[in-house]
């Protein structure tokens, strides 16, 4: 992990609500892994916003010295990022946080992403798909959206990294809240509806991976816990420092006290977090 200044290589719309950011990654730094994140400050900040805190984004893909992240325009920093032209400078600290662990040899990975949390899950799926698992251990991917209009489209982008996550997206079982595509309901509901079919496909025990809104992660944690299967979830939290110093991103721990999403996470194993407290 270190701070560096880099060049934005891609900054395009991929849905009415989301953009994809691409930037050059230093060759002397380790490649980021699914689940990790970076913090940024865009060059396009207005003078009055010069004291703005850095903002975190999760990696959605990495290939050939290029890193990518999905983001929504929500506040001052992401508005400035959205206004940044390709070729402009970006102040980055990364890679930060821990990553999703790989499944054990007797496990089948089941991946769930919800909303903007699909980025790390698509990244993880693209990595797992490249490992050439046997059919019984082939990763299963579930993605949830508010409606079909929010599903990103990477087809016009030529990067190899985005081609890989586009292929992953094409394999996904889709759930939409309004029923406009795929399963009508939540992504965890879609998983539960296909539970018997998934079990018939493989005798390997499932290992669940998730990233998305807190209610989704809490539901997945409960779903996995009831069945006694392992799960790892990546939490979305507001962050200030991003390195564990300020305790601004804590989540309540089941064993008491708090865990820092940036330094202890953002990936946690099932049962670590006391949801809703």
**Averaged pLDDT for residues 197-203:** 71
The pLDDT score that the predictor gives to residue 99 is: 98
C-alpha dihedral sign at 119, 121, 125, 128: positive
Q: If you ran DSSP here, which 8-state letter would residue 75 be given?
A: S
The pLDDT score that the predictor gives to residue 162 is: 85
Q: Which domains does the chain have, with CATH numbers?
A: 2-96 (2.40.30.10), 107-236 (3.40.50.80)
pLDDT > 70? residue 32: yes
Q: How confident is the model at residue 52 (pLDDT cuts 50, 70, 90)?
A: low
C-alpha dihedral sign at 237, 73, 92, 68: positive
Q: How confident is the model at residue 3 (pLDDT cuts 50, 70, 90)?
A: very high
The pLDDT score that the predictor gives to residue 186 is: 96
Higher pLDDT, 258 or 53: 258
Percent helix, percent strand, percent coil in the chain, to nearest 5: 25, 30, 40
Q: How confident is the model at residue 195 (pLDDT cuts 50, 70, 90)?
A: confident
The pLDDT score that the predictor gives to residue 77 is: 86
Mean of the per-residue pLDDT values for the chain? Answer: 90
Q: How confident is the model at residue 196 (pLDDT cuts 50, 70, 90)?
A: low
**Averaged pLDDT for residues 12-21:** 92
pLDDT > 70? residue 47: no
| Nearest-10 Cα torsion for 19, 11, 164, 129 | -60
Q: How confident is the model at residue 43 (pLDDT cuts 50, 70, 90)?
A: confident
Concatenated DSSP letters of 137-193: G--EEEEEESSGGGS---TT---HHHHHHHHHHHHPEEEETTSSSSEES-HHHHHHH
Least confident segment among 23-27, 106-110, 154-158: 154-158
In angstroms, the CA 176 to CA 178 distance is: 5
pLDDT digits (tens, 9 = 90+) for 208-262: 999 999 999 999 999 999 888 999 999 988 777 778 888 888 999 999 999 999 9
pTM of the model as a whole: 0.93
Q: How confident is the model at residue 142 (pLDDT cuts 50, 70, 90)?
A: very high
**How many CB atoms are closer than 10 A to CB 151?**
20
The pLDDT score that the predictor gives to residue 276 is: 83
Q: What percentage of residues in the chain have a pLDDT greater than 90?
A: 67
């Amino acid at each position: 992990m270190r701070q560096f200044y880099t060049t934005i290589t891609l900054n395009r719309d991929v849905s009415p609500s989301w953009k994809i950011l691409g930037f050059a990654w230093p060759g002397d730094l380790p490649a980021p892994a699914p689940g990790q994140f970076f913090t940024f400050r865009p060059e396009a900040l207005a003078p009055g916003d010069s004291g703005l805190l850095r903002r975190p984004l999760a990696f959605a893909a990495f290939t050939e010295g290029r890193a990518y992240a999905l983001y929504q325009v929500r506040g001052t920093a992401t508005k400035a990022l959205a206004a940044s032209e390709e070729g402009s400078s970006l102040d980055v600290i990364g890679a930060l946080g821990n990553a999703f662990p790989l499944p054990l040899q007797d496990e089948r990975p089941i991946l769930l992403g919800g909303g903007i949390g699909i980025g790390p899950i698509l990244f993880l799926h693209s990595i797992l798909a490249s490992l050439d698992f046997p059919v019984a251990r082939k990763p299963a991917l579930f993605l949830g959206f508010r409606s079909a209009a929010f599903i990103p489209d990477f087809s016009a982008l030529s990067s190899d990294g985005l081609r890989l996550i586009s292929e992953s997206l094409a394999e996904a079982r889709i759930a939409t809240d309004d029923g406009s595509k795929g399963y009508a309901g939540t992504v965890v509901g879609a998983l539960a509806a296909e539970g018997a079919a998934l079990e018939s496909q493989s005798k390997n025990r499932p290992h669940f991976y998730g990233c998305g809104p807190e209610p989704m992660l809490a539901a997945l944690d409960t779903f996995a816990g009831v069945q006694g299967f392992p799960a790892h979830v990546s939490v979305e939290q507001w962050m200030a420092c991003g390195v564990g110093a300020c305790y601004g991103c804590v989540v309540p721990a089941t064993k008491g006290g708090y865990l820092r999403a940036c330094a202890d996470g953002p990936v946690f194993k099932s049962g670590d977090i006391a949801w809703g407290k």
